[in-house]
């Protein structure tokens, strides 16, 4: 079987992971996580976007390359500071923050892919099996519409509010629309865009599982699979990657495989909840993860928590030992975009 391919674009900060008194760094955000997880599952995965030209940006790139992700479409503009997200894990729960808990500085925010960069991405990778995006802006929509015309399966997973017209276009072009029941993303039900025939819409409810419907059919509910909770951050990204892996074959979305893809994705998500960090599960081998996912489906829950090695840490060297922001820095360089 030929290796399937995916291009992912959208939110891609450096995750600053705090767990049991240690700090680790990992390429994060939904777009980067989905690309890295699919690479882990055997896909030819590329990530398109922007990160900084600083040390944190190099850690971001190095981490993705170690995960097998094609980083040729990631740009590092001169003077740009790498977007960061604080990911704190405590007592089986997690929280996110956009300010450093140690130096108290506001962290750089993400910059969207530009239209010029999106055009270069399309020229370089003209017809992947799947195009995934989680932010609706001019560049991600350019790629979505170009890739849809090229025959790619388009998967859209909105996570933040967006311009109504951009959101409408994203929903119209997508073959799969997946979002949480968190109303803060806003507007999906108000767009007046009915599901097209065969379009898959998935609504996730956290520990309440998820529901899925195809076109105008009645929704089906899938309960979550129970697991010992260490960190649920990133579990939804494993669900998405599992669905894509099972349901997209030979460049087409197999409607008959949606249910099994979602269950496989939920099994991966349950396993992910036992590991610190959105991609901590990748500390195991792919064979081990897929075998354990099958066990979870057979047993209905995670009965035994895997053991994971502690993530690699990095020396701060003249920067904040938590967020890696340099102590002496031009404020214009770190201004949120």
Domain ranges of the chain: 5-299
- What is the CATH T-level fold of the domain 5-299, as seen in this structure? 3.40.1190
In whole angstroms, give the CA distance from residue 110 to residue 107: 10
Which pLDDT tens digit goes with each residue over 218-251? 999 999 999 999 999 999 999 999 999 999 988 8
Residue 331 has pLDDT above 50, yes or no: no
Confidence of residue 304 (pLDDT cuts 50, 70, 90): confident
Q: What value does the mean pLDDT take over residues 293-298? A: 96
Whether the model pTM is above 0.85:
yes
Which pLDDT tens digit goes with each residue over 136-150? 999 999 999 999 999
Which pLDDT tens digit goes with each residue over 248-262? 988 899 999 999 999
Q: Which residues contact 188 (CB under 8 A, 6 or more apart)?
A: 158, 167, 171, 177, 179
Which pLDDT tens digit goes with each residue over 175-212? 999 998 875 455 566 666 777 888 999 999 988 999 99
Confidence of residue 287 (pLDDT cuts 50, 70, 90): very high
Rounded-to-10 torsion of CA 285, 289, 291, 294: -170
Average pLDDT of the chain to the nearest whole number? 91
Question: Which DSSP string do the residues of 180-214 spell out, in sequence order?
Answer: ES-GGG--TTTS--PPPTT-EEEEE-GGG-EEEEE
Strand duo 74-75 + 44-50: pairing? parallel
Q: What value does the mean pLDDT take over residues 113-129? A: 97
Q: Which of 23, 75, 50 is nearest to 324 (CA)?
A: 23
Structure tokens at 200: 């898959």
Q: 10 Å Cβ neighbour count for 239?
A: 29
């Amino acid at each position: 079987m030929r290796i399937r391919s995916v291009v992912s674009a959208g939110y891609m900060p450096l995750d600053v992971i705090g767990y049991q008194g240690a700090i680790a760094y990992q390429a994060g955000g939904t777009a980067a996580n989905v690309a890295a997880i699919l690479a882990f599952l055997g896909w030819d995965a590329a990530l398109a976007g922007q990160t900084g030209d600083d040390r944190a940006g190099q850690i971001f790139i190095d981490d993705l390359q170690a995960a097998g992700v094609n980083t040729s479409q990631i740009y590092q503009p001169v003077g740009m500071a790498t977007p960061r997200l604080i990911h704190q894990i405590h007592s089986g729960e997690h929280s996110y923050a956009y300010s450093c808990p140690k130096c108290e500085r506001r962290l750089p925010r993400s910059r969207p892919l530009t239209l010029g960069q999106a055009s270069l991405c399309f020229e370089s990778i003209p017809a992947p099996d799947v195009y995934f995006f989680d932010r609706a802006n001019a560049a991600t929509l350019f790629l979505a519409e170009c890739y849809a015309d090229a025959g790619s399966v388009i998967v859209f997973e909105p996570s933040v509010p967006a311009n109504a017209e951009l959101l409408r276009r994203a929903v119209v072009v997508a073959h799969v629309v997946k979002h949480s029941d968190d109303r803060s993303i806003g507007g999906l039900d108000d767009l007046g865009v009915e599901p097209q025939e065969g379009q898959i819409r998935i609504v996730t409810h956290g520990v309440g599982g998820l529901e899925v419907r195809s076109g105008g059919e009645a929704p089906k509910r899938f309960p979550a699979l129970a697991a010992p909770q260490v960190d649920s951050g990133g579990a939804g990204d494993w669900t998405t990657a599992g669905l894509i892996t099972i349901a997209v074959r030979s460049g087409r979305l197999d409607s008959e495989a949606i249910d099994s893809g979602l269950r496989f994705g939920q099994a991966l998500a349950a396993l992910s909840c036992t590991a610190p960090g959105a991609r901590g599960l990748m500390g195991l081998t792919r064979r081990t993860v897929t075998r354990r996912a099958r066990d979870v489906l057979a047993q209905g829950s995670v009965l035994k928590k895997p053991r994971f090695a502690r993530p690699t840490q990095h020396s701060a060297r003249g920067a904040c030992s938590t967020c890696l922001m340099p102590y002496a820095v031009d404020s214009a360089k770190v201004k949120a975009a």
